[in-house]
Structure 1
Amino acid sequence: MRVVKKFGGSSVATIEKIKDIAKDISKNYKYGDEIVIVVSAMGKTTDELIKLAKEISETPDVRELDSLLSTGEQKSISLLSMALKEIGCKAISLTGAQAGIRTGGTHTKNKIESIKIDRIEKHLKDGKIVIVAGFQGVNEEGDITTLGRGGSDTSAVALAAALKCDCEIYTDVTGIYGVDPRVYKNAKKLEKISYEEMMEMANLGAGVMETRAVEIGKKYGVKIYVGQTLGVETGTYICDNSEIIEKKAVTGISINKNVIMVNLENFLAIPKNVAIIFNNLAKHSVNVDMISQNEVENVKGSIGFTCPLTDEHFLNKSLEEIAKEIPDIEVTKRTGVVKISLVGIGMISNFGVAAKVFEVLAEIDSAFYQCTTSEISISLIIKESDTIKVVEKLAEVFSI
């Protein structure tokens, strides 16, 4: 059997953990499996490297930052390779570039464009375990690049797609839950979740999987398993919708606290002004999410939108410029809010989900500020202080 296994930073945080993982991998190796391992940097190494860079410059050169950040994974792959060799396994470590991972885009946020697997195939044929540095690749100029946060998941699934095999993601959780167990203690672990549902949940704030990784899995039909490192419990499979027999109306609830809500009022809500607002936000790289608008005619109207709280610095710059172009505009920012999103492929065929959601909010007397929907999701902006009671009640009503 051929498989790609990915281990996150917490799984390889210490030498002891690396040795334990090596022992576990050796069991599959002795069965004759062809194994490719993808690892992240040890523990909080990436954060520490960013901190070092910021001690030199508040805005470090992104090419050099990529070169610096990539050293974290290189340390992990070398140590794991040594640990495997120490217990009698043939192994070799490869950087992203050595593994043939070609990328494109901007530094610190590159995307995988292609993977040349010849070198990996040769090492597998020679009976070696191949350990690949996640989160990194090389661009057409030959520069080291990184894939952004969660990039090791993307590396692993992309390698599995290229090698035509399944992908196993190991982390410090026992699988994917319908709702964060830290918020709702009775949360149920999912046996399976569709690519579409997982992508939607990841996009809406669930931090278990990186969206691009799931996207690649769906595109190339890579079955993804998410489970606990060295755990005994069965984890969760991310797979095609056709493999899921019971399609619940709501499969999961994601909770996103990284939200700021903005209301723009007292301006002429004509298309030209709306374009000025959103072009300016885009110019400052503000990641606009939910949008609501009550007028597009020649009258005073209002627009509401949300963006990540971490974008507030860029948002403030943008709002200053917008105010210069539309002088009478009134701006209200609201923090202390959370985005709650219900996701389920079953919403396509189940009626009344939205009605039930609003019924729950009325029952527990919780207001919402904004609401958007997609074919398989309903998202609400609520007070942060209402998070637990809203999530608990919704999870109870929809049996999540």
Structure 2
Amino acid sequence: MNPYVLKYGGTSVESIDQIKDVAKRLAERKSLGQDLVVVISAMGQTTDQLLELAASISETPDRREVDLLLATGEQVSVALLSIALKTLGVNSVGLTGRQAGIFTDDVHTKARISRIETDRIRQHLEAGEIVVVAGFQGVNENGDITTLGRGGSDTSAVSLAAALGCTCELFTDVDGIYTVDPKILPEARKLDSISYEEMLEMASRGAKVIETRAVEFAHKYKVPVIVGLSTGDYPGTLIKELDETMEKRVVTGISVDEDCLMVTVNTVPFESKNIAKIFAAISGENIMIDMISQTAPYNSFVNLTFTSKIEDRFNIKAILEKLKAEFPTIDYVIDDSVIKLSVVGIGMVSQSGVASALFNLFAEHDIDFYQVTTSEISISYTLNAYDRDKAVHMIASAFDL
């Protein structure tokens, strides 16, 4: 048995007609003798609507109950798709995350998968059924429903593919991975393939076509991942291990993260234990931060700057207000008028001059930036949101993207 794991996002199952279309395509693949595990997201904007319902009752709803609420979105999609398949005469079974054997840690709304028990899925596959699994959700060791955070269905699909030892196909409303988001740069090129390392950098820096943790799973367990259009009309992009042809590209793509918050904490007493306390308080709320910078000490104080997600604005503000009791000298600025722009390419490892070329481009086009961070294969900047299009176009032109 060599199954295929397929994932359909919310835009692919937004309506009953789309669910019926997906069922027809799955029936065609089943008729070819393929064993299929299908991971489904909630329909369209269902997750946002459920969050709005919770917010209408409480500004800070209990996270356990939020998970219980959000998990219903995927369960609706699973049931409807399984019904559609059975209407076509195709044997199928719908499973929640718990029924599919997806176990997670205890962090509600941002859970991480700890293990997957595939016995039940394999039994259904051996019985000739298409297995339809609710993405985005699992269960902790206490039996409580958990959700995996935004984009969690990608993670569900790739982790299931890893557990089953097969390829993963992620179907969405785009026909692959582009050098730049075509909504920003319509003339951007679609990539036939991209390395795990490059895709991980692009996803973590704001590319929304695939969730970062899904790429981490794929990389760790060497799962080939194909990202393509839900209709299957065009060949997608293969995410795979690095090969020598990829190193010929100095720059592979540009990621833009507009869901970006730049936080500056001023006049922090300069001791390493104080810096540690600030970041411990932030990490204690499961807030992901990036692009940390610190000024040189002046009069025994330093300033800290870091980036995070806009959704964490109120949590960060609450944390910093509490810290003022311990550090009365500090004040802070939370700026949501910036973006994070990242230039990614495996070719940077062996070819020099990219950083210099980028600094020259920014200077020539009068674009200011606030922070710079680098890795072996990426360079990231925070800059004003109004400079987004100018920056993307000048870099894309310079590096033929």
How far apart in 2 are the matches of 1:333 and 1:53? 26
The 5 A counterparts of 1:118-197 are: 118-197=119-198
How far apart in 2 are the matches of 1:69 and 1:179? 31
Q: Larger deviation: 327-336 or 346-355?
A: 327-336
Q: CA deviation at 1:284?
A: 5.3
Aligned identity (percent) is: 50
1:8–1:41 CA contact under 8 A, matched in 2? yes
How far apart in 2 are the matches of 1:129 and 1:165? 15
How far apart in 1 are the matches of 2:119 and 2:37? 13
Q: 1:99 to 1:358 in 2, by over 3 A?
A: same
How far apart in 1 are the matches of 2:82 and 2:335? 50
1:74–1:133 CA contact under 8 A, matched in 2? yes
Match of 2:319? Answer: 318
Superposition CA RMSD, Å:
1.9
Q: 1:244 to 1:108 in 2, by over 3 A?
A: farther
The 5 A counterparts of 1:289-368 are: 289-296=290-297, 299-368=300-369
1:225–1:236 CA contact under 8 A, matched in 2? yes
Q: CA deviation at 1:294?
A: 2.8
Q: CA deviation at 1:101?
A: 1.4
The 5 A counterparts of 1:196-235 are: 196-235=197-236
Match of 1:47? Answer: 48
2:195–2:242 CA contact under 8 A, matched in 1? yes
Q: 1:96 to 1:275 in 2, by over 3 A?
A: closer
Q: CA deviation at 1:57?
A: 2.6
How far apart in 2 are the matches of 1:205 and 1:393? 19
1:26–1:84 CA contact under 8 A, matched in 2? yes
Name the amino acid aligned to 1:194: S
Q: CA deviation at 1:51?
A: 1.8
Q: 1:344 to 1:105 in 2, by over 3 A?
A: farther
Q: 1:334 to 1:132 in 2, by over 3 A?
A: closer
How far apart in 1 are the matches of 2:124 and 2:102? 16
1:269–1:295 CA contact under 8 A, matched in 2? no
Q: CA deviation at 1:267?
A: 5.0
How far apart in 2 are the matches of 1:56 and 1:261? 30
Deviations for 1:173-221, whole angstroms, at most 9, x for unmatched residues? 1111111111112111111111111111111111111111111111111
Q: CA deviation at 1:243?
A: 7.3
Deviations for 1:52-78, whole angstroms, at most 9, x for unmatched residues? 222333222222222221111111111
Match of 2:389? Answer: 388
Q: CA deviation at 1:246?
A: 5.0
Q: Which 4+ stretches in 1 moved above 6 angstroms?
A: none
Q: 1:218 to 1:56 in 2, by over 3 A?
A: same
How far apart in 1 are the matches of 2:388 and 2:5? 37
Q: CA deviation at 1:106?
A: 1.3
Q: CA deviation at 1:227?
A: 0.5
User: Where in structure 2 are there 5+ consecutive unaligned residues?
Assistant: none
How far apart in 2 are the matches of 1:17 and 1:302? 52
1:103 equivalenced with 2:72 (yes/no):
no
Q: Larger deviation: 53-62 or 181-190?
A: 53-62
Q: CA deviation at 1:83?
A: 1.0
Query: Which secondary structure state, in structure 2, belongs to the residue aligned with residue 318 of structure 1?
Result: helix
How far apart in 2 are the matches of 1:172 and 1:24? 16
Q: 1:288 to 1:121 in 2, by over 3 A?
A: closer
How far apart in 2 are the matches of 1:243 and 1:159? 29
Q: 1:130 to 1:279 in 2, by over 3 A?
A: closer
Name the amino acid aligned to 1:222: V
Count of aligned pairs between the two proteins? 400
Name the amino acid aligned to 1:161: A
Q: CA deviation at 1:285?
A: 5.0
Name the amino acid aligned to 2:61: P
User: Where in structure 1 are there 5+ consecutive unaligned residues?
Assistant: none
Query: Which secondary structure state, in structure 2, belongs to the residue aligned with residue 325 of structure 1?
Result: coil
Q: Larger deviation: 49-58 or 4-13?
A: 49-58
